[in-house]
Amino acid sequence: MKLSELLHGIRGMNTLNVKEATVDIHHIEMDSREVRPGTLFFCINGYTVDGHDFAQSAYEKGAVAIVSERPLDVPIPVFVVRDTKRTMAQLSNRFYDHPTKKLQLIGVTGTNGKTSVTHILEQLFKGQNRTTGLIGTMYTKIDDVYIETKNTTPESLVLQQRFQEMVDKQVDTALMEVSSHALHLGRVRGCDFDIAIFTNLSPDHIDYHQSMDHYMYAKSLLFSQLGNTYEGKTAIFNGDDQVADQLIQMTTADIITYGIKKQADVMASNIRAAATGTTFTLTVFGESIEVQTRLIGLFNVYNVLAAVSAAYVSNISLSAIQQGLESIEGIAGRFEAIDSGQDFAVIVDYAHTPDSLENVLKTVQDFANNQIRVVVGCGGDRDKTKRPIMGEIAVKYADETIFTSDNPRTEDPNTILQEMTAGLDRDQYRLIVDRSEAIHYAMKQAKTNDIIIIAGKGHETYQEVGRERTHFDDREVARAALKERIK
Ligand SMILES: CC(=O)N[C@H]1[C@@H](OP(=O)(O)OP(=O)(O)OC[C@H]2O[C@@H](n3ccc(=O)[nH]c3=O)[C@H](O)[C@@H]2O)O[C@H](CO)[C@@H](O)[C@@H]1O[C@H](C)C(=O)N[C@@H](C)C(=O)N[C@H](CCC(=O)O)C(=O)O
Ligand SMILES: Nc1ncnc2c1ncn2[C@@H]1O[C@H](COP(=O)(O)OP(=O)(O)OP(=O)(O)O)[C@@H](O)[C@H]1O
Ligand SMILES: N[C@H](CCC[C@H](N)C(=O)O)C(=O)O
Ligand SMILES: [Mg+2]
């Protein structure tokens, strides 16, 4: 693509002469380390470093043009804009030829449940022989090919490239987790969502957003940006969540509500929860069917309702939805049972917020007929306000609480544990900083019919200490500990 074509209509200070305007752009990058000959480089002033400082290095690696927020002394065209991130989203969309216009795009936002809802949807669509793409916390997946990712919702430049790959692979439906950070940082600018789903809002990421109002505002952007351009957009809300009504006011898209408590378009009633799965009556716009799923817990009924609403809007019939839900096995690291034939239950779950921890512990309490032991920690360099709350929730529901490390990152793990236990009496918990030791300890204590919940890391396969990630998988450690017990 010619530089002039790519920059067409973009406002900014530009030093392009005729020759420069015809430069061919073969790649676009925001990281100087990725620059190859023929690249347009975006200078992003980040949280850690300023990308403008890498302009010279980008030039030396073959960059042929630069988009920046200030004039730069490099011998290639520099196009100066007010906000490079915004321009990058717009140009990425253009460079990859507006890929999201060529597929159905479903975005899911909310504090908890995004990964779960996108995975339930993936199963429902795949059951209809649809070709899906998925972008989220665990990976990006294009049909059946997995791509590693760093962020739940990648930067616009990566996002649009992935969507283009999806279009090339004939993906017809893309399912995407949309984090509040991504909305706030404009990573999804230019994404043509057809359906936007809201799961719930509860305290998290206050370190980043500063207040719940700002956090909600970030989430609301997914809905305020939906439906203003043309018809055929649907916004789906958990009507039982207290901010649903506010979010509904923010969109001009068609609305669907789901829930259990308040009257909604899509509802679950007569819910029968068991340790092996959940059955309930599903009512969609007045039509009812019985559904059965292996997913456990009331929170997962909400996730199913969110997915059902989007599937229904996408013309999947209720009977197909019913069949699809029955065949879902489970989601990695989400209430994942570790079964080595032991006479107690071991569950690995990704609960890392107060609300999710409470939900998961309430769920096991419903089934428990002996003691509940929980192994849990809080991430370093993340929201500190949730630490004492999660500490209190753990001891409230569990008979034995073992606080341990969960990605301490650059913080001292002992300080994180002190903050988690600040409001507790010393005899209410045990501290075992080493996560592997903590899991082994819990296993050793377990008696017949106990339930052990290992919370916070779910599918993660690393422990991040300092800036280093070393291999660590709760599921592997749990299995090893069970083996040791049997010996
Ligand atoms: C706070 C935040 O969002 N940070 C994101 C941000 O990093 P940053 O601002 O520190 O970037 P930086 O290192 O300062 O670099 C600035 C620029 O210089 C460039 N650079 C840098 C070095 C170099 O040698 N050459 C070079 O060109 C970089 O490519 C970049 O363009 O830009 C990076 C590239 O897109 C992101 O990966 C990174 O996410 C970090 C890893 C992160 O932890 N983000 C979290 C807070 C986040 O976004 N989380 C949400 C999920 C939350 C949830 O699950 O609810 C998410 O969507 O992932
Ligand atoms: N609808 C829900 N309401 C409350 N808690 C939930 C819900 N769904 C899942 N959870 C809990 O939250 C944990 C994380 O679920 P999931 O990974 O689906 O959320 P997420 O929104 O993708 O999280 P992240 O922001 O980290 O990507 C689960 O392991 C479970 O404990
Ligand atoms: N997306 C979340 C995941 C948290 C998972 C937990 N294991 C942690 O490291 O805090 C975050 O990056 O804040
Ligand atoms: Mg997720």
Return the residue whose CA atom lies nearest to atom 18 of ligand 1. 51
Average pLDDT, the chain: 95
Residues, CB-to-ion distance under 5 Å, ligand 4? 114-115, 137, 177
Residue 205 binned pLDDT confidence (cut-offs 50, 70, 90): confident
Q: Whose Cα sits closest to atom 4 in ligand 1?
A: 47
Task: Read off the pLDDT of each residue in 270-278 and give the average, rounded to a whole number.
Answer: 91
- Give me the pLDDT at residue 17, please: 66
Q: Specify the DSSP class assigned to residue 91.
A: H
Determine the Cα–Cα distance for residues 375 and 393; give it in Å rounded to an integer.
12
With 70 as the cut, is the pLDDT of residue 18 above it?
Answer: no
Ligand nearest to the CA of 469: 3
Q: How much is the average pLDDT of 395-408?
A: 98
Mean pLDDT of 259-282: 95
- Angstrom distances, CA of residue 323 to CA of 132, 265, 285, 328, 480: 18, 21, 19, 9, 36
Mean pLDDT to the nearest integer, 170-182: 97
Q: Does ligand 3 have an atom closer than 6 angstroms to the CB of 352?
A: yes
**Residue 377 main-chain phi, psi, to 5 deg:** -145, -175
Q: Which atom of ligand 2 is nearest to the CA of 136?
A: 27
Q: Is 274 exposed, middle or buried (0-12, 13-18, 19+ CB in 10 A)?
A: exposed
Please say if the pLDDT value at position 351 is more than 70. Answer: yes
pLDDT above 70: residue 229:
no
Q: Which atom of ligand 2 is nearest to the CA of 302?
A: 1
At 400, which helix (H) or strand (E)? strand 400-403
pLDDT at 34: 97
* Residues lining ligand 1, Cβ inside 6 A: 30-33, 44, 46-49, 51, 54, 137, 150-153, 155, 179, 181-182
From the CA of 158, give the closest atom in ligand 1: 35
State how far the Cα of 362 lies from the Cα of 424, in Å rounded to an integer. Answer: 20
Give the confidence band of 16 by pLDDT, cuts at 50, 70, 90.
low
Which ligand has the minimum distance to the alpha carbon of residue 119?
A: 2
Q: What is the rounded distance in angstroms from the CA atom of residue 80 to the CA atom of residue 72?
A: 9
Mean pLDDT of 382-399: 97
Q: Which of 222, 15, 181, 1 is nearest to 95 (CA)?
A: 1
Residue of the CA atom closest to atom 8 of ligand 3: 379
Mutate to test the pocket of ligand 1, among 30, 56, 151 (most ligand atoms within 8 A of CB): 151
Ligand 2 atom 8 nearest Cα:
113
Check residue 322 and give its pLDDT.
97
Report which of residues 273 and 455 the model is more confident about: 455
Cβ contact 196:109 at 8 Å: yes
Nearest CA to ligand 3 atom 2: 352
Which residues are CB-neighbours of 136 under 8 A, at least 6 positions away?
Answer: 114, 115, 118, 149, 152, 153, 175, 176, 177
| Residue 203: predicted pLDDT | 85
Cα–Cα distances in Å, from 371 out to 38, 177, 391, 448? 63, 35, 18, 9
Atom of ligand 1 nearest to the CA of 111: 55
Measured CA to CA, the distance from residue 292 to residue 271 in angstroms comes to 10
Q: Residue 204: what pLDDT?
A: 87
Q: Whose CA is nearest to atom 36 of ligand 1?
A: 151
All structural domains of the chain: 3-95 (3.40.1390.10), 99-327 (3.40.1190.10), 336-486 (3.90.190.20)
The pTM score is 0.95
Mutate which of 109, 112, 361 for ligand 2 pocket (most atoms within 8 A of beta carbon): 112
Q: How far is the CA of 151 from the centre of ligand 1 (A)?
A: 8
Choice between 18 and 380, residue whose per-residue pLDDT is larger: 380
Residue 361 pLDDT class (50, 70, 90 cuts):
very high
pLDDT at 487: 66
Q: What confidence score (pLDDT) does residue 15 get?
A: 61
Confidence at 227, pLDDT banded by 50, 70, 90: low
Does 112 show up as a binding residue in the annotation? Answer: yes
pLDDT band at 226 (very low <50, low <70, confident <90, very high): confident
Does 297 sit in the ligand 2 pocket, CB within 6 Å? no
Q: Which pLDDT tens digit goes with each residue over 208-224? A: 988 999 999 899 889 98
109 CA from centroid of ligand 1 (Å): 19
